[in-house]
Amino acid sequence: MNERDLLIETTPFMPPAGILDGLATGDAERRPAPSAHSIAELVAHMAFWQEWFGRRAQGEGEPMPSHAAEGWPAVAPGSWTALRERFVSHLERLAALGADGGRAVAPPIEFPPLARYTVADALVHVAMHNAHHLGQVVLLRQQMDLWPPPSGSYTW
């Protein structure tokens, strides 16, 4: 399995771009009851962490946020299209980091369970985190009767 298989052209579940395909701004930014987050909020959260891990994998010593709420940036009304594009395009930049997969993240991440991460570990972490939240996106789309996306869906 390579970085593209892990982050962009996933096979255990639909690729991220497909899961987000065809969502209108109003639908993406709506928080259906009793959901804790809208689809746009989930995507903003994923984008925040994949960008943070990407910077750390490239050697930027940005500290980890001290509170979970800092990883849930506010979504400006009407920003869905740009947010979706930012999230999807950043996956390509992350996949390109795979060439350095065996290199340690330096400086090490300050959170002890992640302190020994290599670039490959960081990419796997992002992919697993995204998979979790993309599953929530699928469920929200199903609840809003917006599934499958226009590009289709897996049927098994």
Dump pLDDT digits (tens) for 20-77.
999 999 999 999 999 999 999 999 999 999 999 999 999 999 999 999 999 999 999 9
Confidence of residue 108 (pLDDT cuts 50, 70, 90): very high
Q: What is the pTM of this model?
A: 0.94
- Tokens representing residue 35 in the block: 């959901």
Amino acid in position 58: Q
- pLDDT value at residue 78: 98
Helical residues (DSSP H) of the chain, grouped into ranges: 3-7, 16-19, 25-29, 39-57, 80-96, 119-143
**Where do the structural domains in the chain lie, given as residue ranges?**
3-62+77-143
Quick one: which of 124, 109, 132 has its CA closest to 37? 132
Burial class of residue 60 (count of CB atoms within 10 Å of its CB; 0-12, 13-18, 19+): exposed
- pLDDT value at residue 32: 92
What's the CATH fold of domain 3-62+77-143? Four Helix Bundle (Hemerythrin (Met), subunit A) (1.20.120)
Instruction: Look at residue 18 and tell me whether its pLDDT is greater than 70.
Output: yes
pLDDT, tens digit, for every residue of 88-99? 999 999 999 988
Residues 53/126, Cβ–Cβ less than 8 Å: yes
Quick one: which of 107, 100, 41, 104 has its CA closest to 72? 41
Mean pLDDT over each residue of the chain, to the nearest integer: 94
Chain centroid to CA 144: how far? 21
